[in-house]
Every structure is written in structure tokens, then in C-alpha cells.
Amino acid sequence: MTKYSIEEFLKQTEQEEKGEGLFELETPRLLEVNLEKQVWAKSGSMVAYEGQIKFEREGLLEHGLGKTFKKAFTGEGASLMKATGQGKLYLADTGKKVIILHLQNDVIFVNGNDLLAFEPSVKWDIKLMKRVAGMMAGGLFNIRCEGTGMIAITTHYEPLTIRVTPGEPVITDPNATVAWSGSLQPTIQTDITLKTFLGRGSGESIQMKFEGEGFVVVQPYEEVWMNSNS
């Protein structure tokens, strides 16, 4: 069998049974969901599936009127789809790295564009941060995930987790910030010096400041936020 034969290609890329449970990484950039009942996933993230699975867009009032108003207000692109049934579901998001987290009565905030999938047992809510004119299209929002269950988040390239300790605040670029622990409440600040250096229109003059005790996850990439209504 030659190095580049079809047989060798199949050997290197064929789906494997890892037996890791509901969520498992088929590859670093592809999430396999061993679906038995239901899961929520980012709309448009399905790349393949096996079995009897039905897909539905998130109902207008499915998660309550408050969340519907927030989504309309933010114009955010993190609309959800509900996958119901039994089978194997493969999810991905523009080739981004997939990270699986098993929440155990935990709280974590995730950038609204970086939440790929989660179990129905995980409670979630959209949180709006202070809107700053010219910061980014659609504003800045995140999703609060709470409870016990599996969630999958995505990052561009390898993520870095920075510990936040009392008296040692961590400052991040909003476009590179992926997630942070539920114990932290970031504030928005403007770096006047940086703004002068980069020009008035630069988003990098806007920063997120994390104080207290917890962690923040960043990626080596500045995400371009798009307004889903545009």
C-alpha cells in the first residue's frame, strides 16, 4: 500500500469510535455528537450526520420573550438550531479549534460567536455589555452558561488561558476574548494612548478589563464581528 493510496487516506482520516460519551473530538476541529435525544448547536454548523436526526431553527419564543428581544437588539449571529433524534452528528465552525468542557454546577461566559453546541441541561442567557459607539458591528454580547452538562466552544488556533488574581487585573482585546469564568464581571475601558497611536477608528482602543479571581480565555486572532441583519 503506497503512502498516497486511497486505502492509506481512509486509514488516516476515517471516523473512529472513541467511546467518550455525548461529545467527543473526532478531529481537533470537528465535534462528534453521539445524539440520543436532543442537543443545541450553532445554526449552520452541521457538516454531516448519520441516523434519524431532525433539525429545527430556534423558535422565536422558544427561550422566552426576554432572550428574543435581546437577540433582536444585538443583531447577533449566534442563532441556534435544535437537533433531535438518534445518531451521529458532526459539527464544525469555519475550521476553528473545538474545545469540550464538562460543566459541573459551573458558570462560564462565552463570546456569542464562539459557542458551538451544548446539552439542554445547561441553562443559558444572552448578556449584553455596555455598548460603545464604533466598537464593533452588532455590539458586544456574550452567553452565560450555567449548570451541569457538556458544552463545546471554538477558538481560532490555540487558546491561552490567563489566571486573574486579586490586585492583578487582566486586560484583553474584545475581538480576541473567547470565554471567562462566571466569577468575573469585565468592564469596558478605553486606552486613550493606544487610540491616539492607532487612529480614531481603531477597535483596539477598546479593551475588556477583568478584575477579581478567575480566568479568561483568549485566542491569537481578532475575530471580525458581523451583524447578522446586515
Write the DSSP assignment of 14-28 as a string of letters: S-------SEEEEET
- Residue 199's contacts (CB-CB under 8 Å, 6 or more residues apart) are none
21-218 belongs to which homologous superfamily? Answer: Mitochondrial biogenesis AIM24 (3.60.160.10)
Q: Find where cell 478567575 sits.
A: 214
pLDDT of residue 12: 82
Going by the DSSP 8-state scheme, the letter that residue 73 receives in this structure is: H
Report the half-sphere exposure of 47 (CA within 13 A, side-chain side): 13
Phi, psi of 42, deg, nearest 5 = -65, 135
Per-domain boundaries in the chain: 21-218
Counting every residue written for the chain, the total comes to 230
pLDDT of residue 204: 54
pLDDT beneath 70, residues of the chain: 1, 20, 58-78, 130-140, 192-204, 224-230
pLDDT of residue 130: 56
CA angle 165, 144, 138 (to 5 degrees): 105
If you write DSSP's letter for every residue of 119-154 in order, what string do you get? -TTSEEEEEEPPP-TTS-TT--EEEEEEEEEEEEEE
pLDDT of residue 63: 58
pLDDT of residue 144: 92
